[in-house]
Structure formats: structure tokens, C-alpha cells
Amino acid sequence: MPSPLHVPRINNNDDFVKVLKLYARRGDRVDRGDCVAQIETDKAVVDLEAETEGYVLEVLWEEAETVPVGEVMMWIGDNADDPVPESATATKPTQTRETPRQPTAKARTMLKEHGLSATDIPYKGERLTARDVETYVAEQKGSAPARKEATSLDSTAPPASGAYHELSPEEHGMLTTVRWHRDVAAATYLEIEFDQQPWEEHAARYGEEHQLLLGPLMPLLAYRLVTIATEMPKINATIVGGRRYQFDEVNLGFTVQSGDTLYLTVIHGADKLDTSNFIEKLGEIQRRAIAKKPKPEDVQGATVAFSSMARWNVSRHVPILPPFTSLIVAHAAPRDSGLAVMGATYDHRILSGFDVIQVLQRLTQVPKS
């Protein structure tokens, strides 16, 4: 019997996703768990996996199209000649003002600020942009002309000969993150130096007590950030539509370098785990990332994050703020200085320097047993 494969809701705020790649076409044989398409949300690029084995009977959406969440992406049957249900051949929704394309993060913020719906705004490109909203507001409310945006260098002709190459999912995710950091957050950075020796001694004792093969210093520091985020919920929040959006749980992002690929892996509900379970869960996710086989949930949904470049003897680094987070910690421990560095990139719309200093000071102090 034919089974529909629906477009899932990855993020609560995403009503539409974009089809980036199709890996399965009509007539192809697929197994349960095979990646049949790659979709883009406002936060990440996610693989869409087959939920059953069989043959692809019909693909209803093509690459570069924007799909409403919940729509049928394709039909899969037991046999290649199974009939597709009549409803599947109906005309798919037209992307009009009643079914708008997915707004950008900045456009969504502006819609909420002006009390508008995406269905109110005409659009020209693949997504509803901040400029579309500005133009509409200027026309409808008689406000000042929309501000002229600076020409984006990444959309102009390059100055020398070359060839275009499609971005990998990881590269595309990095581009999305950088644009959010640049265009949405009021990103700021500060740091303090500290003596790391007490933390190293604490980690050595913990590792010996729990018979760990690898030193747990970084996981213990990351878990300390989880407990601080629980005690200071303001850092586990973001700004949406001019209001603070407080997350229900702490999803700890932890950077993992695998070859030339950087992942921001995520432990969901980290505040519900004890120290031992957190370290075990982090190890599992790290291993999948190092093998370049993370699950979709492994790399999305961070609400606060931790990054360290101590292994490279870096004296400092200023990380990019992940979308919809207010803080990412930056740890470094140059071997020739005698002191380690604990810094943070933060969203100044929601956190002050005083808030972040409190976080860093508490983070550098070994928790009492």
C-alpha cells in the first residue's frame, strides 16, 4: 500500500522549508532510513529520510521549491507499479499571498514588530525578506522610504575568473549562522584570564573515580555551563519580535571538529541529565560527528553553546553566535602563558557585559562537591 512521506516540522517557527536536493526519483528503490531529500529550514539543513522501504511512486516537489510543512513530499509503495492515490495527483498549493514563502529570520522579526502576517506582504524572490516588509510598511502606513541596503559582496560578480561550487550542508549551515550573527544579533565579545589548574585537578579526580579513558575536562566545563544556564535562565533565551523568548530546556551546543568540518553538536535537555549521563551522551554525539554521520537532531536546536580551541594552543578565539542563542562560551589554554582564557560571544540585545562576566567568573570556578 502506498505510503506518504510528509515534510516534517523541524523548528516551531518554520511553516515552510526549501528543497535543496533530491536524492530519490520516481522508480528508485529506497530502504527505510535512506536519505531521499535535503531540506533547508530557517536554522539548518536537514536530511529527509524514507520512513519505509519500497519504490518511489511520485515526487511532488522539486529542487529549489518552497514547501509548506506537513505537505506530502513523495509517495513510496511496495511495488514500482502501485497506483498513487488520486489526492496525490491534485495540484499542489500555489505560493501566493495565502501560502507565502518562508520569511527570513530578520523579516519574521519585523513582521512581529509591525503586527503583520506573512500573508499580508507581496514578495518577489524565493523568500520574504526584510526589504519586502519595509517596502510594504512604507507604502501602507506612509512611513519614510525603506532604507537602502548596502550591496552584498557575496551577490556581486567576482573580481577574477573561477568556477562556482555548491556548498556542502555543513558549509551552508555555517553561512546561515554567520548571516544571523551579522544581521540579527547585536554580537559582542569579552573574556577573562584564569588559572585552570584547579579545574584540571578536579577533572583528573573525576576521571579516576569514574574510570574514564579520556580526560573529562571539556565535558565538565560544558556541563558547568548547563548548570549556570539553569540557574541564570536569561542566558538560555533569545529575542523574538522585541520580546525575550525563554527556552523550556537547556540544549547545550558543543563544537566538534571532524577533519575540515566543524559541527555544533547539540545535547537536548542537558539540564535533565546528571554529570555522568551528560558526559556519556556527549561522547555518543561526538563519535557520530567525528565519523561525519550525525543525526539531524545532533546538529540543530542549540539554546546556549560551548567551544574550545585549547587543543590547538590558541590564545583566544571569538566564535560566531549560533542562531537563536544569546551566548556561546569560548575557551582557550595557550601552553606558554600559564593562564587559560574564558571568553564569550553574546547577544547584547538580551545580555549585558555584567551578565556575561558573572557567567564567566562562575564558569572558571570549580563547583563544590
Residue 94 has pLDDT above 80, yes or no: no
Q: What are phi and psi of 250, to 5 degrees?
A: -95, 115
Q: Are 264 and 255 in contact (CB under 8 A)?
A: yes
Written as nine digits, the cell of 213 is: 579513558
Which residue in 211, 224, 170 sits closest to 359, CA to CA?
224
Cell 549521563 appears where? Answer: 277
N-terminal to C-terminal alpha carbon distance within the chain: 58
Q: Are 39 and 7 in contact (CB under 8 A)?
A: yes
Share of the chain above pLDDT 90, in %: 50
- 10-25 pLDDT tens trace: 766 667 788 889 999 9
Residue 154 has pLDDT above 70, yes or no: no
pLDDT at 316: 87
Q: Are 41 and 60 in contact (CB under 8 A)?
A: no
pLDDT at 95: 45
Which residue in 81, 72, 37, 34 sits closest to 53, CA to CA?
34
Binned at pLDDT 50, 70 and 90, residue 309 comes out as very high
pLDDT at 113: 66
Q: What is the pTM of this model?
A: 0.62
Residue 96 has pLDDT above 70, yes or no: no
pLDDT at 235: 97
Binned at pLDDT 50, 70 and 90, residue 176 comes out as confident
Identify the residue with better confidence: 116 or 206.
206
Distance between CA atoms of 124 and 254, rounded to whole angstroms?
38
Long-range contacts of 227-233 (CB under 8 A, 24+ apart): 227/271, 227/367, 228/359, 228/362, 228/363, 229/271, 229/303, 229/304, 230/271, 232/355, 232/358, 232/359
Distance between CA atoms of 6 and 1, rounded to whole angstroms?
16
Q: For residue 208, with 0-12 CB atoms within 10 Å meaning exposed, 13-18 middle and 19 or more buried, which class applies? A: exposed
Distance between CA atoms of 216 and 222, rounded to whole angstroms?
10
Identify the residue with better confidence: 266 or 140.
266
- 272-299 pLDDT tens trace: 999 999 999 999 999 999 999 999 889 9
Binned at pLDDT 50, 70 and 90, residue 105 comes out as low
pLDDT at 92: 56
Mean pLDDT of the chain: 85
pLDDT at 204: 95
Q: Are 133 and 114 in contact (CB under 8 A)?
A: yes
